[in-house]
Amino acid sequence: MTQQDPLDQPARPAPDNASGDAAGCALAARRFTQALAWTRLAEVTARVEASLSAAGTLDDLIALERALDGAWPADTAARPRCELMWAGAGTGGLELAAFDEAGRVLLRRRYPTGAVKRRAAHV
């Protein structure tokens, strides 16, 4: 019997007991990708950058990654590259930005730390 690499497993939704900020990060990512889809910018998005403040947790980053991964079908040829990073302590919150192939900003949104979940509902 061969052992399957855990990294080859499909992304699972965040658990129900996820922290409020992790759930807020996931919600912000979904709202951001919905805004891209509604404005038809998702079709030309080549790269998505997500910067989480240094105060963010690993759970926040994982929830964010799963939400971004789930926004586009896995078999989509034009699936954008997603870059996740922890930003410096002074940035505060979560910033999401989408870029086209030439590097032009298509959409940029910022959600303050601790208010990610509340503010994401108003995007």
pLDDT digits (tens, 9 = 90+) for 7-50: 333 433 433 334 457 788 888 888 899 999 899 998 899 999 99
Q: Is residue 94 part of a domain?
A: yes
Counted domains in the chain = 1
What range does the domain containing 99 cover?
19-120
Q: Which residue has the higher pLDDT, 59 or 112?
A: 59
Residues 61-116: tens digit of each pLDDT: 888 888 888 887 776 677 899 998 887 665 568 899 999 999 999 999 997 765 44
Q: What angle do CA 64, 65, 71 make, to 5 degrees?
A: 90
Structure tokens given for 39: 């404005």
Q: Is residue 8 part of a domain?
A: no
Residue 57 to residue 75: CA distance in whole angstroms: 30
